[in-house]
Amino acid sequence: MSFERVAIIGLGLLGGSIGLAVREYLGEIETTGYDRDPATRTRAAARGLVGTVCETASEAVRGADLVIFCVPPGAMADAATEIAGTLPEGALVSDVGSCKQSVAEALATALPNNPVIPAHPVAGTENSGPDAGFATLFRNRWCIVTPPEQTNLVLLSELVTFWEALGANVEIMDARHHDLVLAVTSHLPHLIAYTIVGTASDLEEVTRSEVIKYSAGGFRDFTRIAASDPTMWRDVFLSNKDAVLEMLQRFTEDLTALQRAIRVGDGDALFAQFERTRAIRRSIIAEGQDDARPDFGRSDHDAG
């Protein structure tokens, strides 16, 4: 491994997991970290998320050859500006943001003298904060790296090796295409989940306690992702606006078609739609991106 000292800016779920994974799988690398929230720094030090928790971002990046920004997309520009004077020349700048075009631009603008290669590990849980991370978060998950044009291929290969060492499968992708793919596989699902959980909270005829009680009928599956970090998701939707609005438009058209089928009682149209969606589930399980146990093994757990 060519990196000797990795600085992690932002010590929440992702930053903390990177720190723990580096300690687990790349023990020879020194890690430093910083979070602007003092309480997070205290917890990060207590859990040993990085070797040294620093009091300032500048201190954290001193001597680093790789700095990874693990802050919400909207906070990237400020966080990068904060270290502009201290970051060693030649140190590689990367991140874990869910939108890549806007983040790439923010980092390149703030740190014009350093190489920037954005990355996005497609991994996470609904929990956030310094207590949420764990070393195996990236195992068997994809990490999408979106190198700008004219990226130094040696640096790129070093970043790929780093992520592979943490257990991820790496894919190289154009930033624009990344933003489109993630709009459908991640951003739109989150938007819809947030919406339906909100809708269910606002009914007059059905109480909130009834919604909670009978959530096992399907609703609860949406609440998991609707419990994700609000700041991060606000930034995602603002940063990847065009792709999200495009996907949302398509979703709305499809929903309208099903709505019409229900209204006119077109059972064949409903059946045809419901039948074809099963295949995707099977593929996701076959590729190891989800758990095949019925109910994700919830039933086993309940029965225990």
What residues from 117 to 176 belong to the interface with a copy of itself (CB under 8 A)? 122-127, 132, 134, 136-137, 139-142, 144, 171
Q: Binding of a copy of itself at residue 42 (CB under 8 A)?
A: no
Report, in Å, the least distance between residue 88 CB and a copy of itself.
33
Report, in Å, the least distance between residue 2 CB and a copy of itself.
27
Helix (H, G, I), strand (E, B) or coil at 67: strand
Q: Interaction with a copy of itself in 84-113: which residues (CB under 8 A)?
A: 98
DSSP string for residues in 209-276: HHHHHTGGGTTHHHHHHTTS-HHHHHHHHHHTHHHHHHHHHHHHHHHHHHHHHHHHT-HHHHHHHHHH
Torsion of CA 50, 51, 57, 60, to 10 degrees: -140
CA distances for 186 relative to 29, 87, 253, 276, angstroms: 32, 32, 19, 21
Which residues neighbour 97 within 8 Å (Cβ) at sequence distance 6 or greater?
69, 72, 73, 76, 103, 118, 120, 239
Report, in Å, the least distance between residue 41 CB and a copy of itself.
22
Q: Interaction with a copy of itself in 251-290: which residues (CB under 8 A)?
A: 251-252, 254-255, 258-259, 262-263, 265, 267, 270-271, 273-278, 280-284, 287-290
Report, in Å, the least distance between residue 92 CB and a copy of itself.
24
Report, in Å, the least distance between residue 153 CB and a copy of itself.
24
Region from 44-52, 59-67, 150-158, 181-189 binding a copy of itself, contact rule CB under 8 A: 181-189
3-state SS, 156-204, equals HHHHHHHHHHCCCEEEECCHHHHHHHHHHHHHHHHHHHHHHHHHHHCCC
Nearest CB to a copy of itself, comparing residues 4 and 210? 210
> What are φ and ψ of residue 227, in 5° steps?
-100, 5
Nearest CB to a copy of itself, comparing residues 4 and 282? 282
Report, in Å, the least distance between residue 200 CB and a copy of itself.
5
* Helix orientation angle between 241-264 and 267-276, rounded to the nearest 10 degrees: 140
Q: Interaction with a copy of itself in 197-256: which residues (CB under 8 A)?
A: 197-203, 205-206, 208, 210-228, 230-231, 233-235, 237-238, 241, 244-245, 247-248, 250-252, 254-255
